[in-house]
Structure 1
């Protein structure tokens, strides 16, 4: 079993935070934005460290507020799942997801994440399901449907259906 370090954002040192950000920049090919980084902060980080102590796999779970129709829900939202390119296809994505899922299952009403098409297989194999209703965001102007996110939003811990509404934030809302 691969050892995974769990640490809150508040307990990451400056150099550790920089190393995680460097991993994310590398893993996402330079497409990991400042807003994406901001979304990954404020919760728990799950890290696999290489032989030199550098992060080679990462996932974070941050708290968010969702609505299912009109019912408020505490959501553990998964962000910044990444594996160093030289360490892919070794089970490290699953290694960081296992404790992330445990944190969600025992601390939140539901888990949610937005996945690229390449990531669908990982999440489906771990018991996540593609949300089968409409998605929306509680924007400053009110609830706004986000149909562009309907095919990439995954959930766990909830079987109900309806319109799933996420809280507003800068950048990608899902």
Structure 2
């Protein structure tokens, strides 16, 4: 609104249509804040969905491993003995060594360590499930009381979601 004084001493008011720069900036900032909140909320929901999917995969793996123990008399110790089970590839961390399977062949124990795309780790043993842990060879082996890298007491399988295949090629892997 513009206020003008005329020659007769009266004021006239003129109204201009549109928004001021300050009003436009406030609207842009509010939209930006709402967008940021939405993105953060979506990422949290997506991470929880991935973690739930991985948890379901682990539950299915536990059942397959227990059935394999009934059939073989021990938990799988090699790729040939390992049961096939479905993993939902999109829910897993896409880095190498995202799934570890380690067996203590002396005491017939296993540990299955997996890492979700959210970064949350899960280690399943024949007795319990740990969630929110770091997953690597050492922590997965420690979950069943064996030392990572010492040959002769366990076998290791690693699933690489980039190539969708299991590997047992590390030189110190010992399959009894």
- Tell which structure's C-alpha radius of gyration is larger: 2
Assess same fold via TM > 0.5: no
Name the structure with the higher strand share: 1
TM-score normalized by structure 2? 0.28
Question: Which one scores higher on RCO, CA 8 angstroms, separation ≥ 6?
Answer: 1
